[in-house]
A and B are shown apart, each in its own frame.
Chain A
Amino acid sequence: MVQARKWNKHPAVLLTVASALAWIVLVADWLWFNRVAGIVLRVEWGQLLFEFQPIYWIVFLPPLFISTFWLVWALRKQPRSNLRVLVVASAAYPFCWQLAVFVAGNAADWTGWTGFDTLRAQFARFGTAALFFLGLFWMIWIIERGSRYYDRLRIARLLAQEAEGGPTAAIHGGVADILPNEEPPVWNALDINAWYYNLRTDDLFSLSRWARLISSLSNRSADPQTRPQRKLNQSLSGLAGYCFVFLITFLVFSNIGGCQEQFEMPAGGGEQKQIAQVVKVQKIIKKKFVVNPFSAIRFKVPPIDEIKLQLLEVTKHAYKIGQGAGDGAGFSGGTRKGKVRFVRLEYTGGDWDQDFGVGADLNMLIEYGIRTKQKVNDKTESRTIGQLKNFAKYKNQPIVYLTGQRNISLSKSEIKIVNGYLIEKHGMIFFDNGGSGNFHNQVISMMNRVLPNVRPVQIPRDDVIHRVPYPIPRLPYVAPHGGRVALGWKVDGRWVAYYHPGDIGDAWTDDHSRVPPEVWESCYQLGTNVIFYAYAEYNKWVQAQKAK
């Protein structure tokens, strides 16, 4: 009968262990590796499009049911034990917490409602806090129980020694503070008689106290009167140790990529083609005169060239600006809440924040939105080079903008991060020379370090980046700080860096540096082209990865 009951339990235990292992693996993938993130199942329901990552759902959902099962089991199990219920609830917590974050993230993707995004962030934030307190609770419990357990053991050993004719003095008070004979000093942190709990703050700076401590090590028995002090020391040490371990774990997780930043592209689709320009010609024919060639009156017949033509040029979007299949202008790999963002790269050594934010970058972003009809963010942002590491591989920011006029100082690790961003995450850098020949050299030197096997080349006029969506037959610039030629770095047929030599950012400012209108208009067009190119290429790559 007993055997049968054990076998009944085993499938549940086995299932739990297997589910937990699978959960650990998939959570690691979800956080850092994104190997299975590309496997997507699309379900259309009315106007809503649900994109599932089935493997994640298959692995993340069962722990919820398994946790519920074990919780019910713990509550119903007789005799009822609160400890058992607490253990099960604590074990279930990480699974449920992670599921809540995951579901909130997915809901945000499906509905495009930013409230879910906020909810996801709150789950993540408060969940971490809850995890901290939960861990703290169990740490206190373990210390307390451990301390009592070792006291009991020591008393048992003393009683045994007494029975063999040993010292009896300890039977009165403070028995737990007397160590049995010929036992080495206690090192166990759970034992309140551990030698280091005798330490006080002023002990650390006093030689005599250290001497006393060393002698007490040889005596080994602790003073019963110092028990409250030792208890306090034990509790404080436990708290400090726990905080330290939690902090380190948190930092390691966030540095490894636990706090990955996700950038979503706007959902939709479109074609990577040049904007079609429709020219409507309207002839305005002047008054017609019937001229008698034999008339006595001389009349000058206007030559045909003088007939006024009123040209009405209309830029007609004959197609959606975007990439892939989908409704509205956007990208097939995008989501409803996704937006095109303008992220500036912060670096040391120079003035990365030249014309940053409102009145320059934001103008470009707004213009991009107007021209492409794609959703754009309502503000521009900046990130440090170190933060590029946290960008999710398949939800990466496809382009970052780097400008300035002084030096670009990058460490070896930063060079590695930039390389990873460009190559592994399929990102792109839009360099803009903000005001000096030196900055030109800085950019070249930086890229030589980032991509030592790639040489900069002149970007052709008829390249897709100069044609789509706007044809840019001549490079516009505000001032020729680094020459008059746009340079590019190409890897596997894709531009990973675009260098504009002539302060394009100044043409995006509110006053456009008062350059001629055709120049700043062309600068906006070029900006649109470069941003669109980066998004389109990234989208193509993400789609290709998903197809694999």
Chain B
Amino acid sequence: MGASSKGQVTQRQIEVRRSRLGLCAVALFAFALCAGQTANVRAGRLDEMSVDRWKKLRETERYQLNIAEKYFRAQRNWKVAAAEYEKYLTLYERSDAAPYAQLMWSICQSNLKNKHTAIKEGFQSVIDYWPDSPDAVSAAYYIGLTYKQIGEVRKAKKAYQKVLADYAKHPVTVFAMSELVDVSVLEKDLPTRVVLWKKLTFESKRTSGRDVRNICEKASRDLAVHSFNIGAFGDGVKALETTYLEPVIVANVVANVRGPIATQVADTKTKAKADKLADLAISYVVGITPSDTSTPEKELFAIQHWFHVVDINASAGRTTKVPPLYNQIIQKFGEDDVVLGRLAGWWKTQKQYDKARQTYGRFKNKIEGQNQIAVSYRNERRIEPAVLAYRKLMLDDAENTHKWHAQIAVTYDENRQYKKAIEVYLQLLKEDIEQADKWRWAVAYDYERSGQHKQAIGYYRQCSNFPSNYQRMAGCHIALKQYGEAIVLYNQIVGGAPSSAPWASLQIGYTLERAGKKELAIRQFQLVCKRFPKDGHASQAHAHLQNKYKITATLGGAKSED
């Protein structure tokens, strides 16, 4: 019985599996049919090979291609990668991946700054020898791109237009159109740009990868802003609707319309236009504001719409309308920290700090409200009230005492009251051992800024963030005119931190100069030029030698590597 039932179940399971497999196969076939043309782009980028093509390659071909890809993608060693792709072409000329190898060789040449070679001997060869391969489409696009990179804008434009004409249905046209938009910016050709934006927004399929989608979405936003600028609010919304769906469309319409409103309202000539645009935007938002606030989510959604109305009014410079609108929101939805926070923030933009603090005082989260009050005092550079507010916070919020205590020190620092800040940091150093390094550095830095260099050196010495602490210590020694000690420290940096060595070597030169040892300083500057000819500090040393000492013999010089 058991066995038979077991056998029945198994049989059923097999049938189910078969039917599932059948469905999967149909789905895969349908997917393959739909995506056939876009396979190459679906792989991600134009310089990547589709999985379908990859799996058709022989093991030896894959092996060689993998080597080349490793140098290209992981190591970005274009020279070696180009040689490996070339080797692939020599060995497997008739392979399916030959056009791909040729394309990649061309991209390597382009990255090696051999742009003309890349176009004439690379991309063009892909089109000439393998015109039906998917790589020919990419090559056609890359020709335009490379021409643009070498400043041949006209040729680039022609190449992109050829891509549009030859591969009208291929997703690569999206990239070509995006580049043509850029060309139209250079040529100050707005009508062409608008046509391209419209094509990208309304006619291009966005299913061929993230890059394509991003380009189309950007085009839709640009088109919307353009439409808003010329007063065509409806067209702008339509453009955005291609990118954003129902819940987020409002936010994006408002985000894109606020700029044009603010720009136009600033000019008296276009103020009327701005008012009209603002009214249209407000009526649009009000029109779709949900009346159903039965659930917290729906209520939040409705509040967001009200915020958009406030934002549009604020952008249109209608400052008198903003507080009443917030009051309306509060009356309608009740007092909420988010609403109050926005209202207080608006008062701050109007420099009405007292009203802002009154609003923060109404916060349900009293700690956050008190923090914001303290911040508003800091914004006004009123130290004592801010410190008092933080002290109150230390009492009210015992769990975060150190956090608020540190804010007191920061407030003193902002106002250059370093002694008081040091006192706070020293106290923190005793109390908050977990972050001792941080407070030690803060104490040292404040000692240095207050001119107490000896004390600063003492605290920097205890810090463990080499070479930063050595750099600051050397600076303090220079301030104390202890040039010898400073040079010792700089030398330690040269030896211990290779990435900071050029900087430290240059500082040795400056320090020797301050110490009056001009000959040694000159030698040191020349040494910087000689040792680190490719570093920016060599440039400074070279210029300093010429300007200050009128010395042209700087011993530098090199050739660029890539």
B369-401 contact mask (Cβ, 8 Å, vs A): 1 or 0 = 000000000000000000000000000000000
Taking a contact as CB atoms closer than 8 A, the residue among A460, A478, A488, A489 that contacts B556 in the complex is A478
A474-507 contact mask (Cβ, 8 Å, vs B): 1 or 0 = 1111111100110011101101000000110011
Q: Please choose the segment from A289-297, A364-372, A415-423, A450-458 that sits at the chain B interface, where 4 or more of its residues have CB less than 8 A away.
A: A450-458
Closest 5 pairs between A and B when the two form their complex, measured CB to CB: A515-B557, A490-B151, A479-B542, A435-B543, A460-B115
Nearest to A481 among chain B residues (CB) is: B539
Chain A residues with Cβ below 8 Å from B150 are 457-460, 463, 490
Contacts A461-B113, A513-B554, A520-B557 given: A480-B539 contact, CB under 8 Å?
yes
Taking a contact as CB atoms closer than 8 A, the residue among A437, A478, A493 that contacts B554 in the complex is A478
Whether the Cβ atoms of A458 and B557 lie closer than 8 Å is no
Whether the Cβ atoms of A493 and B152 lie closer than 8 Å is yes
Measured between C-beta atoms, what is the minimum distance from A81 to chain B in Å? 67
Contacts A458-B113, A460-B113 given: A488-B539 contact, CB under 8 Å?
no
Bound-state Cα–Cα, A87 to B535, Å? 76
Whether the Cβ atoms of A503 and B112 lie closer than 8 Å is no
Bound-state Cα–Cα, A480 to B539, Å? 5
Bound-state Cα–Cα, A134 to B437, Å? 92
Contacts A488-B151, A506-B554 given: A477-B559 contact, CB under 8 Å?
yes
Chain B, range 543-562, C-beta contacts under 8 Å to A: 543, 546-547, 552-561
Whether the Cβ atoms of B559 and A522 lie closer than 8 Å is yes
Whether the Cβ atoms of A453 and B188 lie closer than 8 Å is yes
Measured between C-beta atoms, what is the minimum distance from B469 to chain A in Å? 28
Bound-state Cα–Cα, A121 to B191, Å? 54
Chain A residues with Cβ below 8 Å from B559 are 474-477, 518-519, 522
Whether the Cβ atoms of A514 and B561 lie closer than 8 Å is no
Contacts A453-B187, A462-B115 given: A437-B560 contact, CB under 8 Å?
no
Asked if A511 is an interface residue, CB under 8 A from chain B, the answer is yes
Nearest to B117 among chain A residues (CB) is: A462
Whether the Cβ atoms of A454 and B536 lie closer than 8 Å is no
Bound-state Cα–Cα, A485 to B559, Å? 10
Chain A residues with Cβ below 8 Å from B151 are 454-455, 457, 488-490, 495
Asked if B149 is an interface residue, CB under 8 A from chain A, the answer is yes
Asked if B41 is an interface residue, CB under 8 A from chain A, the answer is no
Chain A, range 355-386, C-beta contacts under 8 Å to B: 355
Chain B, range 234-259, C-beta contacts under 8 Å to A: none
B100-132 contact mask (Cβ, 8 Å, vs A): 1 or 0 = 000000000000111111000000000000000
Whether the Cβ atoms of A478 and B542 lie closer than 8 Å is yes
Not counting A437-B536, A458-B149, A506-B542, a sample of 13 additional A-B residue pairs whose C-beta atoms are within 8 angstroms of each other reads: A405-B547, A453-B187, A476-B557, A476-B559, A480-B534, A480-B536, A485-B560, A488-B151, A503-B542, A513-B554, A513-B557, A514-B555, A519-B559
B148-167 contact mask (Cβ, 8 Å, vs A): 1 or 0 = 01111111000000000000
Give the interface size bracket for B toward A: 35 or more
- Classify the secondary structure of A's interface with B: loop
Whether the Cβ atoms of B186 and A460 lie closer than 8 Å is no
Among A479, A506, A518, A522, which residue has the most Cβ atoms of chain B within 10 A?
A479
Whether the Cβ atoms of B154 and A514 lie closer than 8 Å is no
Asked if B144 is an interface residue, CB under 8 A from chain A, the answer is no
Chain B, range 509-562, C-beta contacts under 8 Å to A: 529, 533-536, 538-539, 541-543, 546-547, 552-561
A388-416 contact mask (Cβ, 8 Å, vs B): 1 or 0 = 00000000000000000100000000000
Nearest to A436 among chain B residues (CB) is: B543
Asked if A516 is an interface residue, CB under 8 A from chain B, the answer is yes
Bound-state Cα–Cα, A258 to B147, Å? 42
Chain B residues with Cβ below 8 Å from A515 are 554-557
Whether the Cβ atoms of A514 and B553 lie closer than 8 Å is yes
Chain B, range 212-226, C-beta contacts under 8 Å to A: none
Chain A residues with Cβ below 8 Å from B546 are 435, 506
Bound-state Cα–Cα, A495 to B112, Å? 20
Whether the Cβ atoms of B552 and A511 lie closer than 8 Å is yes
Whether the Cβ atoms of A435 and B542 lie closer than 8 Å is yes
A231-251 contact mask (Cβ, 8 Å, vs B): 1 or 0 = 000000000000000000000
Give the interface size bracket for A toward B: 35 or more
Contacts A461-B113, A461-B114, A490-B151 given: A479-B556 contact, CB under 8 Å?
yes
Whether the Cβ atoms of A481 and B543 lie closer than 8 Å is yes
8 A-B residue pairings within 8 Å (CB atoms): A455-B151, A474-B559, A476-B559, A478-B556, A479-B539, A506-B546, A513-B542, A513-B557
Measured between C-beta atoms, what is the minimum distance from A545 to chain B in Å? 20
Chain B residues with Cβ below 8 Å from A480 are 533-536, 538-539, 558
Measured between C-beta atoms, what is the minimum distance from A268 to chain B in Å? 27
Nearest to B547 among chain A residues (CB) is: A435
Nearest to A491 among chain B residues (CB) is: B151
Measured between C-beta atoms, what is the minimum distance from A304 to chain B in Å? 26
Chain B residues with Cβ below 8 Å from A522 are 559
Contacts A480-B534, A481-B543 given: A519-B557 contact, CB under 8 Å?
yes
Nearest to A476 among chain B residues (CB) is: B559
Bound-state Cα–Cα, A436 to B188, Å? 33
Asked if A193 is an interface residue, CB under 8 A from chain B, the answer is no
Asked if A509 is an interface residue, CB under 8 A from chain B, the answer is yes
Whether the Cβ atoms of B152 and A479 lie closer than 8 Å is no
Bound-state Cα–Cα, A454 to B183, Å? 10
Measured between C-beta atoms, what is the minimum distance from A361 to chain B in Å? 14
Whether the Cβ atoms of A516 and B560 lie closer than 8 Å is no
Nearest to A467 among chain B residues (CB) is: B116
Bound-state Cα–Cα, A426 to B405, Å? 68
Measured between C-beta atoms, what is the minimum distance from B547 to chain A in Å? 7
Bound-state Cα–Cα, A479 to B554, Å? 9
Nearest to A503 among chain B residues (CB) is: B542
Chain B residues with Cβ below 8 Å from A490 are 150-153
Whether the Cβ atoms of B558 and A519 lie closer than 8 Å is yes
Bound-state Cα–Cα, A506 to B552, Å? 7
Taking a contact as CB atoms closer than 8 A, the residue among A453, A474, A503 that contacts B560 in the complex is A474
A249-285 contact mask (Cβ, 8 Å, vs B): 1 or 0 = 0000000000000000000000000000000000000
Taking a contact as CB atoms closer than 8 A, the residue among A462, A507, A513 that contacts B116 in the complex is A462
Taking a contact as CB atoms closer than 8 A, the residue among B152, B538, B553 that contacts A511 in the complex is B553
Whether the Cβ atoms of A513 and B538 lie closer than 8 Å is no
Measured between C-beta atoms, what is the minimum distance from B502 to chain A in Å? 11
Measured between C-beta atoms, what is the minimum distance from B32 to chain A in Å? 41
Bound-state Cα–Cα, A474 to B558, Å? 9
Nearest to A359 among chain B residues (CB) is: B552
Contacts A455-B186, A490-B151, A493-B152 given: A514-B115 contact, CB under 8 Å?
no
Measured between C-beta atoms, what is the minimum distance from B556 to chain A in Å? 5
Nearest to A507 among chain B residues (CB) is: B557
Whether the Cβ atoms of B552 and A509 lie closer than 8 Å is yes
Measured between C-beta atoms, what is the minimum distance from B510 to chain A in Å? 16
Whether the Cβ atoms of A460 and B114 lie closer than 8 Å is yes
Bound-state Cα–Cα, A146 to B291, Å? 98
Measured between C-beta atoms, what is the minimum distance from B107 to chain A in Å? 14
Whether the Cβ atoms of B543 and A405 lie closer than 8 Å is yes
Chain B residues with Cβ below 8 Å from A474 are 559-561
Whether the Cβ atoms of A492 and B558 lie closer than 8 Å is no
Chain A residues with Cβ below 8 Å from B186 are 453-455
Chain A residues with Cβ below 8 Å from B117 are 462
Whether the Cβ atoms of A513 and B555 lie closer than 8 Å is yes
Measured between C-beta atoms, what is the minimum distance from A455 to chain B in Å? 7
Contacts A436-B543, A481-B543, A484-B534 given: A492-B556 contact, CB under 8 Å?
no
Nearest to A494 among chain B residues (CB) is: B151
Whether the Cβ atoms of A457 and B543 lie closer than 8 Å is no
Chain B residues with Cβ below 8 Å from A455 are 151, 186
Chain A residues with Cβ below 8 Å from B153 are 490
Chain B residues with Cβ below 8 Å from A457 are 149-151
Contacts A453-B186, A513-B553 given: A463-B116 contact, CB under 8 Å?
yes
Measured between C-beta atoms, what is the minimum distance from A473 to chain B in Å? 8
Bound-state Cα–Cα, A201 to B153, Å? 68
Bound-state Cα–Cα, A485 to B115, Å? 14
Bound-state Cα–Cα, A405 to B188, Å? 33
Whether the Cβ atoms of A437 and B555 lie closer than 8 Å is no
Chain A residues with Cβ below 8 Å from B535 are 480
